[in-house]
Chains A and B, each alone.
Chain A
Amino acid sequence: GESVGLHLPTLSVQEGDNSIINCAYSNSASDYFIWYKQESGKGPQFIIDIRSNMDKRQGQRVTVLLNKTVKHLSLQIAATQPGDSAVYFCAENMGSGGSNYKLTFGKGTLLTVNP
């Protein structure tokens, strides 16, 4: 079936470096994408989202890039900090619109920031 997947299951970076987490999706009809951060023992926390009519969106220290041609999504974290250590999930809206849409999550990437 169609799904969202991640290229790298784990990523280890040095504090202060930039991090890039990648995600591939297979449903060309998906029109909304979200990145979530999940710390151990906690629920997913919204980071940033992007709609399919955009190819880039920036937040505070984070940037999401969407390449619809190759069905690829990435999350860039600038000046990575130890507090950024968590599992990062991309999720896609695979529904038909309205109130009956379904958010499907990928498997997640574990980001570890070394001091």
Chain B
Amino acid sequence: EAEVAQSPRYKITEKSQAVAFWCDPISGHATLYWYRQILGQGPELLVQFQDESVVDDSQLPKDRFSAERLKGVDSTLKIQPAELGDSAMYLCASSPDSEWDTQYFGPGTRLTVL
């Protein structure tokens, strides 16, 4: 069964450092999402890509966060500089194309900022 891949699974960093997360969606899925999930809460959308284009980044803190999906396949989410409040699970999801398509999630990257 095809799955969304994410790496690393865990990341510990010090504040003010740069971190990057990688996501490889299910093959053929045009839409890719990055979510942030704080412990005990539901995921919150950070950015949505349709192929290589950003569709929605209204909730992405653009002063420190950036995301790219250059070839419309895998994607990278970067934080620079990391702050203590960035500690969370970062989830990637993908879906084939339309609004009726289910989003399938990867295992996430657990970020701890010290």
Using a CB–CB cutoff of 8 Å, the interface residues on chain A facing chain B are: 4, 32, 34, 36, 41-46, 49, 51, 89, 91, 93, 95, 97-108
Q: Are A93 and B41 in contact (CB under 8 A)?
A: no
| Count of interface residues, chain B, beta-carbon cutoff 8 Å | 29
Residue in B99, B103, B104, B107 whose CB lies within 8 Å of A99? B99
State the CA gap A102–B55 with chains docked (Å): 10
Which residues of chain B from 21 to 56 have any CB-CB distance to chain A below 8 Å in the complex?
30-31, 33, 40-45, 48, 50, 55-56
Other CB < 8 Å A-B pairs besides A95-B99, A98-B99, 8 of them?
Answer: A41-B110, A43-B91, A44-B91, A44-B105, A91-B42, A97-B99, A99-B31, A107-B40
A-B contact count (CB 8 A): 63
User: Chain B: which residue is nearest A89 at the CB level?
Assistant: B42
Residue in B48, B50, B100, B105 whose CB lies within 8 Å of A43? B105
Q: Are B44 and A101 in contact (CB under 8 A)?
A: no
Report if A105-B42 is in contact (Cβ < 8 Å); known contacts: A43-B91, A99-B31, A100-B55. Answer: yes
Residues of B with C-beta under 8 A to A4: 42
Report if A106-B42 is in contact (Cβ < 8 Å); known contacts: A42-B107, A44-B91, A46-B104. Answer: yes
Q: Are B45 and A99 in contact (CB under 8 A)?
A: no
Using a CB–CB cutoff of 8 Å, the interface residues on chain B facing chain A are: 4, 6, 30-31, 33, 40-45, 48, 50, 55-56, 91, 93, 97-100, 102-108, 110
Q: Are A103 and B103 in contact (CB under 8 A)?
A: yes
Q: Are B41 and A101 in contact (CB under 8 A)?
A: no
Q: Are A102 and B45 in contact (CB under 8 A)?
A: yes
Residues of B with C-beta under 8 A to A103: 33, 45, 103
Q: Are A32 and B108 in contact (CB under 8 A)?
A: no
State the CA gap A84–B91 with chains docked (Å): 21
User: Chain B: which residue is nearest A95 at the CB level?
Assistant: B99
Q: What distance in Å separates the Cβ of B38 from its nearest Cβ neighbour in chain A? A: 11
Report if A32-B100 is in contact (Cβ < 8 Å); known contacts: A43-B108, A105-B42. Answer: yes
State the CA gap A104–B33 with chains docked (Å): 12
Q: What distance in Å separates the Cβ of A37 from its nearest Cβ neighbour in chain B? A: 11
